[in-house]
Structure 1
Amino acid sequence: MTPGADSVMGFVGVRTAGSSIRRVFPEWADALGLPTRTLVGHDLPLDSPPAAYRAVVEMIRDDPRHWGALVTTHKVAVHAAAADLFDELDELATTFGEISCIAKRDDRLVGSAKDPVTARLALEEFVAPDHFGRTGGAALVLGSGGAGTALSHQLGGRADAPAVIVCTALDRAALDHARAVHERAGLPPGRFRYELTAGPDDADRLLAALPPGSLVVNATGMGKDRRGSPLSEAAVFPEQGVVWEFNYRGSLEFWHQALAQQESRSLSVVDGWRYFVHGWTQAVAEVFDVAMPAATVDELGRIAARFR
């Protein structure tokens, strides 16, 4: 099936109208020579029922205008509710139990998990290949949803892996899912700790135990999908640490907490902009079956920066 002149790419999220991609995508389409400049958002509330996810996937599958779609917040839920609707899932989608990209290949519906690739590409831009071995730093990944689990997976598989990777979640099911992903990937189990965090005090305690040079990541969605930070205002980041806020828009409380300590704690503070760029360029490459070498990603990043 080849969509016609009125074709679109889909975007499944919570509040898609606020994303910079709505302005960026038409410019990328022109630069890449894509067959459409139109991006259509499909908004679903957090914790929507399985039928809602199935309906969106079925609509994308059956609508001849859709080339495919990127899935953001709902990728784990889409896999849980609608995996059987796909003709093919890639290895990462099966390993992670999530679908972040929906593409069509002739009459086949193909699902893939792009977050692990996105996390690795973004991480490599600001964490040196020898960072953890050189500094002795650990990693604290706050949040074990799709993005957090993708990052912990990539950290665990690095040649220069942190000695300890602490994965957190508000509920046991999320931690069990992260553990299962790490086990299916064959990662060393002794490299990970799985911690329930009932609130900011628990997260603060884990933060305070980190050695200098550690990586601290907000992968909870707080500061974007809902206000707040997983840390309290009393939290202290590790000396010479690297702080990564996965979000690039929203209230960004975690980001501001890190910036306030950037000078006093000698922190490297990174927001989610390049993660956003890599995530979307990987999805565009998959949906439209186009090459996405590093030079092209850099050029698309420069285009996107004009709209930030």
Structure 2
Amino acid sequence: MTGHMGFVGVSTSGSSIRTIFPRWAEILDLPTRTLIGHDLPLDATAADYRALVETIRDDPDHLGALVTTHKMGLFEAASDLFDELDSFSTLCGEISSISKRDGRLLGHAKDPITAGLAASEFLPPDHFAASGASVLILGAGGAGTALSWYLSERADRPGSIIVTDTSQSRLDHLRDVHSRRGTPEGLLRYVLTSDPDVTRSILATLPAASLVVNASGLGKDRPGSPVPDGAAFPTGAYVWEFNYRGSLEFLAQAREQHASAGLIIVDGWRYFIHGWSQVIAEVFSVELTDELLDRLTAAAEAR
């Protein structure tokens, strides 16, 4: 097998995966060292998505792709072009991994797995039971949906998960996902944040040690932060920035309060590692062992 793998995003040229992928390909003995970027604007049309999926499907040298910002838009516009979608994909309404098997086009939603792997590395297994902390997820898109899914299934489940967004339709979609999943009633709150002071007020009510996550895309695909200037994070909060590159205003806000509020700050690097390794394993049918993941991580951090 020869060919190339794709990367669907808004601006793929600045991603660290450009230099990391060839190293990983060597470690994993992949049949290609080539990664092709597919840039689509934030306002991509259904025709854009369908044309991209058809290109991947019909090109025998195109082995698959990872999808970032466009996971939900691609599912909505082009899910019917796939021969098979996994249960996460159909229930969450997103596609983050495109692969091929025996001439069939497959779609997967890897984000719930990725979010769980990354979160379990820094959140103690009894954190919510021991602390009484809550969760605030800023953004109800694909990343926010995936994290809320993981947290609602976690053995040490938080008592409250608040998800905010500037789009009521995204919040309604997320509510529907959890309703169909059978998530316990009352666990999640869905809050429209058309006014920045709404976010400020929510932050002020969170218990100490709560988890606050930027899943909005702000600070990466476009500048800004979902947290208004001057808003205070809870004392001892875990503040998780899903992004690892970009203007990263949310991360800067957290760092300003790091010492005074005793924050535990996590950037998006490990989320990036798990996200890419999971999709590469799917595209190339690789068994991703702990030993292999350690080698991939070491190679990536040598960038």
TM-score computed with the length of structure 1 as normaliser: 0.97
Which of 166, 174, 186 in structure 1 is aligned with 2:170? Answer: 174
Spell out the pairing of 1:22-41 with structure 2 (5 A cutoff): 22-41=18-37
Which of 70, 81, 103 aligns to 1:85? It is 81
- Tell whether 2:188 aligns with 1:192: yes
One-letter code aligned to 2:111: D
How large is the Cα RMSD of the aligned pairs? 0.8
Q: Deviations over 1:158-181 (max 9, x none)?
A: 111110000111011000111111
Aligned ranges 1:121-160 → 2 under 5 Å? 121-160=117-156
Stretches of structure 1 that go unaligned for 5 or more consecutive residues are: none
Matched with 2:17 is 21
Question: Equivalents in 1 of 2:78, 2:194: separation in Å?
Answer: 30
Instruction: Look up the SS of the partner of 2:243 in the other structure.
Output: coil
Contact 1:201 1:231 (8 Å CA) reproduced: no
- State the Cα distance separating 1:55 from its structure 2 match: 0.4
Which AA in structure 2 matches 1:209? T
Q: Which amino acid aligns with 1:135?
A: S
List structure 1 runs of 4+ shifted beyond 2 angstroms.
Answer: none
SS of match in other structure, 2:105: strand
Gaps of 5+ in 2: none
- Equivalent residue letter for 1:29: A
Give % identity. Answer: 58
SS of the equivalent of 2:235 reads coil
1:280 aligns with 2:280: no
Does 1:216 find its partner at 2:190?
no
Q: 1:73 aligns with which of 60, 64, 69?
A: 69
Shift of 1:200: 2.4
Partner residue of 2:101?
105
How many Å separate the matches in 2 of 1:122 and 1:199?
A: 30
Q: Please say if 1:63 is aligned against 2:71.
A: no
Q: 1:95-154 deviations in whole A, cap 9, x for unaligned?
A: 101110000001100000000000000000000110001110000000000001100111
Question: Which deviates more, 240-249 or 191-200?
Answer: 191-200
Residue number in structure 2 paired with 1:161? 157
1:300 aligns to 2:293 (yes or no): no
Tell me if structure 2 keeps the 8 A contact 1:199–1:230. Answer: no
Identify the residue that residue 224 of structure 2 maps to in structure 1: 228
TM-score w.r.t. length of structure 2 = 0.99
